[in-house]
Amino acid sequence: MSKQLVVLDTSTGACCEPLTQAALDISQAETLAPMFKALGDPIRLRLLSMITSAEGGEACVCDMTPQFDVSGPTISHHLKVLREAGLIEGDRRGTWVWYRPLPQAMRALAAVLNTPVGAGV
């Protein structure tokens, strides 16, 4: 897990400095693609958005589930996909489970998208 997060070395946290001008290599692409894929569903995108924008930086499953038209198990499945993609982590606190984002992962994805057009000149 830590491996996939240092691929682009986003540890400096600078969001506007593109970290690579060169095209992604195969292993970088294979590391990052599953993360983008996890965001490729409207429900999961809303879940992540709810989690990142929640006060305190974390959100309870019990608060998120009622906001969707799908069943509880389906929400649980989507949270698992986000978790296995390395985008969020969660823990049970008594009866409820709380999730929070993993910022390094978000930065790694943002770094790809912040690459300026024509960087290879």
Partner DNA sequence: CCCTTGTCTAGATGATTTTCGAATCAGCGC
Partner DNA sequence: GCGCTGATTCGAAAATCATCTAGACAAGGG
Q: Which residue has the tokens 């965001």?
A: 39
Is 27 a residue that touches DNA (CB under 7 A)? no
Residue in 1, 13, 55, 95 binding DNA, rule: CB under 7 A: 95
Is 56 a residue that touches its own copies (CB under 8 A)? yes
Is 97 a residue that touches DNA (CB under 7 A)? yes
Q: Which is nearer to its own copies, 94 or 116 (CB)?
A: 116
Question: What count of Cα atoms within 13 Å lies in the side-chain half-sphere of residue 90?
Answer: 24
Structure tokens at 97: 């489970």
Q: Which entry of its own copies, DNA, none binds 7, CB below 5 to 8 A by partner kind?
A: none
Residue 60, beta-bridge partner list: 98
Residue in 8, 78, 105, 107 binding DNA, rule: CB under 7 A: 78
Is 34 a residue that touches its own copies (CB under 8 A)? yes
Under 8 Å CB-to-CB from 66, ≥6 apart: which residues? none
Closest residue by Cα to residue 35 from 119, 113, 116, 118: 113
Is 29 a residue that touches its own copies (CB under 8 A)? yes
Name the minimum Å distance from CB 65 to DNA: 5
Question: What count of Cα atoms within 13 Å lies in the side-chain half-sphere of residue 36?
Answer: 12
